[in-house]
Amino acid sequence: MADSMFVSILSAAVSSGTPVLYAALGELVCERSGVLNLGVEGM
C-alpha cells in the first residue's frame, strides 16, 4: 500500500516539475549566451 502511494506521488511530482525544468534549462542557455531573460517565471 505504502509503496504504491510513494510511486504515485513520485510520478505526480515528476509530471508537475517537468515544465519548471524546461524553463530552468532555457534560462541557463540564455544566461550562458549573455541574454538576460527576466520573464522566465511566466513561461
Q: From the first residue on, what is the mean pLDDT of each consecutive set of 10 residues in the chain (43 residues)? A: 91 94 90 84 64
Give 7's Cβ-side CA count (13 Å radius). Answer: 4
pTM for the model: 0.62
The widest CA-to-CA distance across the chain, in whole angstroms, is: 50
- The pLDDT assigned to 39 comes to 78
- The pLDDT assigned to 43 comes to 59
How open is the CA angle 17-40-22, to the nearest 5 degrees?
A: 35
Cell of 25: 534549462
d(CA 4, CA 39): 38
- The pLDDT assigned to 42 comes to 66
